[in-house]
Chain A
Amino acid sequence: MNKFKETSFKSVTYLASLFTIVFLFAIILSIFYEGIPIFKHVSLIKFLTSPSWHPTHFPPDFGILSLIAGSFLVTLGALIISIPLGLGSAIYISELAGPTSKEILKPVIELLASIPSVVYGLFGMAFLSPLLIKIFHVPTGLNIFSASIILGIMVVPIISSMSEDALSTVPKSLREASLALGANKWETIIRVVVPAAKSGIFSSIILGFGRAIGETMVVLMVAGGAAQIPKGLFQPVRPMPAAIAAEMGETVIGSPHFHALYGISIILFTVTFISILITEFIVHRRKK
């Protein structure tokens, strides 16, 4: 009887894990199935290197370089903001904070992760964007800079909580050895604890990158949506997820524009897939 319980439990959990694999492959298959036909209308090289995105013009232009540029620029901006904030708060919580402030700070930062992205988007659109126009006298408040700030705030909890986990798994003996050798607390953190946790910190940054580049609602609402190669920090851009979300609803299924949007999702998927592979590789190497 016990044996039966055990095998049935095992098969139920096995089925559950099988389901996620089936879903993953179904999604991958469908985006490639719907995306590859676009390359009958435009070559892969032209698709990736032409900055001209006029999908409903006659004749249409399907070049996504400006969309790729938009995605990478807002993501880079988000990381520039979130790495110091996330890493700094992780070091403070793990190494310096007393038990009370630790107990307050940890859940508050995690709360930041529970705010729906559309709320972040609204905040950016209704509050941050008019503020930027007032402060910097820029023509529009929907641009790389504002999208980077909002995305950066969204990524902070990912970097912070994962880095904090990595820092707190550094063995106590390492810290004690460093202190015993005469290093002060500051030197111990920078020279010993952070280097010991560097693979965990690095994978938190890669995960944050994946989160920022795939985020849709915020870039749709705050990045401005201009399909151009920007010439400055305060220019609007159209990141890949924004283009897919804004245009998919009103294209005819099976049209070249429809396949082009799936083509963009192949590129987006490839980028996030590579970033996950890098994290897995780092974690795997650390275990060895």
Chain B
Amino acid sequence: MSGKGVGRSHSSTTSGGSVSRRQLLASGAAVGGTAALGGCLGSREDGLTVGFALPFTGTYALLGESIVDGFELYLDQRDGEVNGEEVELVRRDTEADTNKGVDVTRELLIKERADAIVGPVSSAVAMAMIQPIETESSAIWFNANAGDYRITAEGCPEYHFRTSFNDWQTSAPLARFVYEEIADNVCLAYADYAFGQNSKEFFKEAFEELGGEVVDEVGAPLGTDDFSPYLGDIQDSGAEAVYSFFAGGDAVNYVNAFSSFGLDEEMTQTGSGFLLANDTLPAQGASALGMYSLLHYTTTHDSDRNRTFVENYEQLHGGSPNVYACQGYDSAQAFVDAVEETGGTDPDEMVDSLVEMEFDSPRGQFRFNPDTHEPIHNMYVREVVESDDGESVENEVIDTLEEVEGPAWGCSN
């Protein structure tokens, strides 16, 4: 891995919030980094600053790193410069903790004078970041992962731009596919916390609207290791299909248990894309074959734009990009475009530019809803198939839902 062209190295910044500026600068200097040095001498007039408020330690560390890797890739393609100005990247670890998230956001806004904040991963942290960012109104907030719809629904924050997705988009649009192609009755199985509950509610609403029936709902606590008791309930529901929201380790445990118990022979498994994602499929393996899911980015998506993205990413970082890397990449695209178009970093001018912006993302065409600042992008229905070498499994896009937008959540301009 090389951080060339961008002032940062991959050496882990594990000491959390105390990842000192000196440490960061030292590592930047070590890889021949550039931008950071000017900043440390006190003159902050030159150059652009992007602050990452992301988890770099703990369960979500992988997501945080991937977002930064994606962001870096885009900057790297621009030689680390926008409008002839260097871009300094400042990483702060939220530790996926609400209080910590607010602290680092304030620090990035006030002390580092960030022009943009990228992050966070956790929706709870995002909810807490709304207030400091809106109050300061000095930076644009590129929400590169936190998908809870309430971040928008509760107050329509002005400087918040979701470069990722919202939980409505990864659940409700799949209802039509399930209803038309798979079954008119489902059992819902979900991780019993805010995001899981939102997802299953959105799916349920859409599925019932189409005339489908939800036979049973089974919630399992976050971090469940053994799903067998829940699988019993799912099986007893007698539904022909299951719609699930699980992610990370839960998704691995759930999918493997689902197949071990032979439920895959009785019912069709569907779910949000996080159920069958790049970071879970290697561990799920053959258990995941034939399962359907919905997501806005798929590494194997067959388009020239995406192939180029994947190649470049592999060259810079080694390893294929996941959905989080794509979200980081698009955050960089949106930021750079807005700076170039407005010729500066005035946040209000950037907002005006962003709401009209449309760009070419590895996921397809991307633009923001001018009222909600939510993404309008394609969603992809994928099926897990054997990869060409026959050794592993991968997602194959089987249907594209174009320009998926979602509700307005009461926001208007």
A and B part of one assembly: no
